[in-house]
Structure formats: C-alpha cells, structure tokens
A and B are shown apart, each in its own frame.
Chain A
Amino acid sequence: MSILIDENTTFIIQGITGREAVNLTRECLDYGSKIVGGVTPGRKGREVHGVPVFDTVEQVVEHNGGVVPDGSVVTVPPAGTKDAVIEALDAGIKTIVIVTERIPRRDVAAMVEFADQQGARIIGPNCLGLIVPGVAKMGGIGGPAKNAEQAYQPGSVGVMSRSGGMTTEISSTLTAAGLGVSTAVSIGGDAIIGSTYAELMPYFEADPQTEAIVIYTEPGGRMEAQLSAWVKENNSRLPIIAFMAGKFMDDEEMQGMSFGHAGTIVEGKEDSATEKIARLQEAGIPVVERIDEIPDLVKAKIAERSAA
C-alpha cells in the first residue's frame, strides 16, 4: 500500500514541453508511472517521450476516453501556475503536484482554497513530488529511475520533508538501514503549501504498510506546531521522528535573514528552531541531532509500539 498514488494512478504533466518537464517525464515513465498526456498551450500534436501533448486539459480527458486522470504534475512558469492548476481542478483532477517555485502567496492561497472546494489535494508548490518505492513516482523526486531506485526501496517508513533533496537523503539512509520507505512526500519549502505534515498524517495513518513517520523540518512557519497539536488530539498508532535543520539561524546575527527555502525565515519567536524543537518534543516527537541517528530510533520506536 501507499498514500495518494499507487500502481494504477494516471496523471498528466502541465507544461510538459519545458526542459525540466521533459526530463521529469522521462524519469517518471522509466520508473513505471502512467502518464496519459501532457499540456502546453499551442503545442497540440507533439509528443514528449511518446506522451501526446494537448492544448487543454479538456482535450487530454477527451483523448483518454472521457476518463479524468487521477493527477497532474504542474511545471508551468510562476505567472501561469494558478491558471493551470485551476484548469486541472476544474476538470476534476484530484491530486496536484506543483513543482514551480516563486509563486506569489496570493496565487497559492487561491489554488489551495479552490482545491478544498473540489475535494482535491495539492502537494507543493516548490516541491519534487512524491514516490512510492518500486511502484510509481509523481514528480522529479529521486531523479532518474536508477538513482531513485538506489535511494528508495520499499519499506515501512513514511517520509515528509520541506526539502526535496533531504527527502532523498533521509530515504537513502532508511533504505541503507534496511527499513525502506512506504511513501515519501516532498511537501515543499514555501510559507503556504497545499499539504502540511498534519494534513498528510491521516493518509499515513490509514496505510497499513506505514509503521513510522520521519519528518525533515526547518525554521519558519507554524507547521510543526500544527503537527504537535494533531499528535496531541489524535491517538496515532504511528511514532514520528523529526530532524530540524537550520539551528544556526537562531543566532542573533542571523535574525531577519532568509536561508534555504522561501518559507525559511524567522518572522516571530515561534518560528525559531529552538521553539519548534521544544514544541515537537513536548508532543512526544523526538528531534534527532543527526540524520544518521534516524534508523536506530525508528527501529526502537516501532519495537516499542508493537510491544505495547
């Protein structure tokens, strides 16, 4: 099992003729994903690695025998992202991965609100998508199929990360330790994202393959506070282990500076690494100092739960 996507999931790629999108299409196809079409306005009739290109999402649905694809990976430039996402949602697509960076917050908020109204889910923006090891990937996560295979082996741990690269680093560590990954989600590094840790927890909770959760987090925003509250309110069967990067940003001299992702800026006391670590720990979520400590702690926590 997995969350959000499985071996039957079909999806499209919006902005498929862009350079990065062409690579991404190749990678996903090689990994076994089912891409049923691509959209780039004005490029109807072309093909990208055998995937037919259309002008509109509506045309893809038509070509697909009236069946609405399950998902869309959106890679169009920031000025056009909102329109592309709303087009996909309007067509009835329910899982959207937004790869595009530097989208104004107003647009992100509007897309997320429309997705809520449609009963759909957005992952990202500014993310690499998600991967179910050995089954499918939706987005650039893990890179070319052979690299993805090296870092991601099927297993018992769900991974959520604000950094795309660190999703792979952590998953690789879990894979090397023999634990493997159930589903890994690069949730995006912006201040407003479609799916937060807490919002994805119920999916992992419902996935029998997942036995533990690892999150990668950073200063900025209130997402960890939301997860802590979720953990306190829900008697989850899943142990969660967190890694916090960017502790150096707590230094006096770094105040007001932004590092890493767009969302990684300390705007209030609650945003700082120190505060977040305290809040996570208070909710019973251990925060490790080093990535390489994660596998042993995951194993210990899983053993603890199964003994209980």
Chain B
Amino acid sequence: MRFFEYEAREIVKRAGIPVTDYGFTTDAAEAKTIAERIGGPTVIKSQVLTGGRMKAGGVKFADTPDEARQHAEDILQLEINGHWPRGVLVDPKAEVKQEYYAGVVWDGTAKKPLMLFSDMGGIDIEQVAEDHPDHVGRGHFSALEPFHDFQAKQVIAAAGVTGKPLQRLTPVLARLARLFLEGDMLLAEINPLAELTDGSFVALDAHMEMEDEGMPRQKALIKALGIGAEEGTREGHTPTPFEEAVKAIDAADHRGVIQGKDTGFHGNIGLVIGAGGGSLTLTDAVRQQGGKPANYSEIGGNPSVAKACGLAKEVLQKDGVEKIAVMMSIVSNTRVDIVARGVIKACLELGKDPGETIAIFRIPGAWEDEGFKILDKYGIEYCDRSVSLWDAAGRAVAKIQGEVAA
C-alpha cells in the first residue's frame, strides 16, 4: 500500500521524527485558514500517488493566506499523470540551511533491510549514488535482533557527516529504521530531511510504502491514518471492469485462486491460463509467435468449477474475444477435469459451442484422463504434456489469428 505524503508525514511524526506544522485539506477555503494559522509564506502541495508533481505544477508557493487559497483551488483541479489529487498539504515555507536524504529499503540479496543516508538531499538518491558515491552511507541491519542507534550513526558518518548534524540526525535515522520494520514497510524515505536556519531538523517530505502482506497486522496504524477498507491496497493503476469482475469471482469462494489483468493488453486472444510461472511463460509464447493476448490470467490451487467458469466467461465477454486458449504448465494440485468442466460451462452459458470457442486445451497433470474424456465429448482440441507450452501457444495463435509469425 502506497501512502500519500500527508499520511507518510503522519507516520514519521508518530515515530517521533520532527515535522513542520503542516495541515492537510480537501478544501481551498480551509487551506487559507491553515495558512493563516501558520502565519507566513507557505507551500501548497498536491497530494497524489505519482511522481513529477513539481514539474506538473502541483507544488506552488504562497506569500499570503489568500494566495494559498487560490493555489489550493488550482491544484485541487489539476490532474497529474492521470491521478486526481486527494487534497493539498499546506506547509510552512522552510528556511533551509542543508538538505539530507534518509531512506530504508529491503536488500533481497543480503536479505536484510538497508539504510541509506546522504548529505546531498532533495534530489534523486540513485543519481547521488552514481555521481557522488562518497556522499552516500549504507548499512544493513537485523530483522531479528534489536536495532541499536550506533548503526544509524555509522551510516551517517560514512556519508561524511560529523559535528552537531551527526548528533541530531542519528535518532532520526534510527527511528526511521525502527518504523520501517515495525510498520512492515517496503520503503521509508525522508527527502529532504532538512536542517533549518533556526537549527532544527525536520522531515520536509516523506515517502512510505507498506507491504500488502503486512497489512493484516498493521490495522491499527492504517485505521489511525483514516484509511478505510474500501481503498484496498491502492494498486498502482485503477482496476479495469474485467479486473474487478475477476477479483469478485475469486473472492466468492475460498477454493483455488484466479487472477485476471487486462491493463495494457489490447488483442483478441482470450487467455485462460495458469499457474504463476506457467502464465508468464505462456503469455510470452503467445506474443513471441505473433499472437495478441486480450488479457493475462492465472489459475492457481484447485479452483471450483464455478471459479474456472467465471474466469472463462469474463475473458469471453471482453471486446473482440471470440475464442479462448486454456493452457497451464503441468499441474499437480489443480484438477484438469474441474477446469475443463468450468470452461465448457462458460461457453454453454454464453450460448457458444465449446468445440469452436476453445481453440486449444493444454493442461496436463492430475485427473487429466477424466478431463480429456469430457473434452472429447464436446469436440474440443486438447493435448497432453508431449505438446510443449510453446507449441500449444502456437496452435492457439494459428487458430485464432490465422497465422503464426515465423
């Protein structure tokens, strides 16, 4: 789950890291009230789950509360990269003496969380790491043992920072490291982390992303941030009607798992495929042989007839889809006969001839003899494991599009 800046700052604040006296609102008039309370120049920032808001005009400076209201009004009506803002953040314009970067991510190779720190904040950390490696400190820490502040200190010192900043920044990075683990985060970043001219150190912007798998045990935090269950995991893109429909079918019963996606797919080959790795392999095989998939899907575990039927129906009802290819890598949990019954049922319920509609059925494995018997009855072309995933995909392309790319 990705968080808006106003939420990320709240998370940081709860962890004891100082932030500015900002306010969040969805209302331009209230933006003025917040600016009045702040009493001085302010920054009005669009709250969107996408990058590049500065360039898009989603961040504006205001000298007076009236200007703050005007900017808020404009920004609230500004779409950025296809995202409408959730609201605006009204932030005191900070007198910055020095900008730092503090971040924590997972390192999959080391299998540990990794702290990153730089005294060149405010810009992209990857760029800094490339151009000025001596200005970036790094350090892994344990997910098993308690975190010690000196680990944060070492990372900051490795970036070349000493003196009062080192002393003041150590607890900030230490708290960020702890909140990263305790909050099941995938990313916890403060950029810029600023030293202001008055000598204080504050988080001026923050990015947080929580692992979806951690959400069940982070309910209290999610609730405290005012995030309702209807927001789900805030996927990167808005689900299409097809994606919503498949999700609903999957949620209807607990047996097996089906998934469907069609964002970015524009073809006419309906894919009823599985499992995780098999779906990736088959989608490639269809495309590499000149086929244009209408969708991506995954059948996993041992779904009911209703579930397999539901997925096939949704695929068949997509615009331009006349036929489907039903294919999986060799299965051991999924019952071939159940999937066969499901996809046949889908055709029949839509008034289509299964023998015509199912271009190819290639699911070898558990209960395949029973499955093949049913497929025979309806005159459906099927094959066993002696036909490779590549060749099965090729047959589907040939039957649906009429030709296979050489």
Whether B261 lies near A113 (C-beta < 8 A) is no
| B287 partner residues in chain A, CB cutoff 8 A | 247-248
In the complex, chain A residues 63-114 whose Cβ is within 8 Å of any chain B Cβ = 78-79, 102-110, 112-114
Q: Which residues of B contact A233 (CB under 8 A)?
A: none
Q: Which residue of A lies closest to B285 (CB)?
A: A290
Whether A109 touches B111, Cβ cut-off 8 Å, given contacts A114-B144, A151-B330, A292-B391, is: yes
Give CA–CA (A140, B301) in the complex, Å. Answer: 12
Q: Among B106, B298, B385, B388, which residue has its beta carbon within 8 angstroms of that of A260?
A: B298
> How far does the Cβ of B45 sit from chain A's closest Cβ, in whole Å?
22
Whole-angstrom distance between the Cβ of B65 and the nearest chain A Cβ? 38
- Which residue of the partner chain A has the closest CB to B259? A259
For the complex, is A254 an interface residue (Cβ under 8 Å from B)?
yes
Q: B398 within 8 Å of A by Cβ?
A: no
B184 at the interface (CB under 8 A from A): yes
Q: Which of B272-301 contact A (CB under 8 A)?
A: 274-281, 283-285, 287-288, 296, 298
Nearest A-chain residue to B105, judged by Cβ: A267
The reply to whether A143 and B213 form a contact with Cβ atoms under 8 Å apart is no
Count A-B contacts at CB 8 Å.
168
Q: Are B263 and A257 in contact (CB under 8 A)?
A: yes
Cα(A262)–Cα(B330), bound, Å: 21
Please give, as numbers and ranges, the residues of chain A lying within 8 Å of B59 by CB-CB distance.
none
Q: Does A300 contact B (CB under 8 A)?
A: no
Instruction: Please name all residues of chain B whose beta carbon is closer than 8 Å to the beta carbon of A104 when the two chains form the complex.
Output: 184, 211, 213-214, 217
| B264 proximity list for chain A (CB < 8 A) | 251, 253-254, 257
B288 touches A218 (CB 8 A): no
Write the B188-227 contact mask toward A (1 if CB under 8 angstroms, else 0). Answer: 0000000000000000000000010110110000000000
CA separation between A75 and B283, bound complex, in Å? 30
Evaluate contact between A260 and B181: CB separation under 8 angstroms. Answer: no
Interface SS of B by simple majority: mixed
> In the complex, A105→B211 CA distance in Å?
8
Say whether A162 faces chain B, with CB atoms less than 8 Å apart.
yes
Q: Is B112 at the interface (CB under 8 A from chain A)?
A: yes
Residue picked from B111, B237, B275, B298, most chain A C-beta under 10 Å: B111
Asked if B329 lies at the interface with its beta carbon under 8 angstroms from chain A, I say: yes
Q: Is A226 an interface residue (CB 8 A)?
A: yes
Whether A144 touches B216, Cβ cut-off 8 Å, given contacts A106-B181, A176-B386, is no
* Measured CA separation A164–B279 after assembly (Å): 12
Cβ contact within 8 Å between A168 and B332: yes
- B166 interface residue, CB < 8 Å from A? no
Contact (Cβ within 8 A) B143 A113? yes
- Interface readout for A190-229 with B: 1 if CB under 8 Å, 0 if not? 0110001000000000000000000010100111011000
Name A291's contact: one of B111, B186, B298, B390 (CB within 8 Å). Answer: B390
Taken together as a complex, chains A and B put the C-alpha atoms of A191 and B212 apart, in Å, by 13
> Can you list 27 residue pairs at the A/B interface with Cβ under 8 Å?
A105-B186, A105-B214, A112-B111, A140-B333, A143-B331, A143-B333, A147-B332, A163-B280, A165-B278, A169-B278, A169-B329, A192-B106, A192-B111, A216-B277, A245-B277, A246-B280, A247-B287, A247-B288, A248-B283, A251-B264, A256-B236, A256-B237, A257-B263, A259-B298, A264-B276, A290-B388, A292-B388
Interface residues of B (CB under 8 A from A): 106, 108-109, 111-113, 142-145, 181, 184, 186, 211, 213-214, 216-217, 236-237, 261, 263-264, 274-281, 283-285, 287-288, 296, 298, 328-333, 365-366, 385-386, 388-391
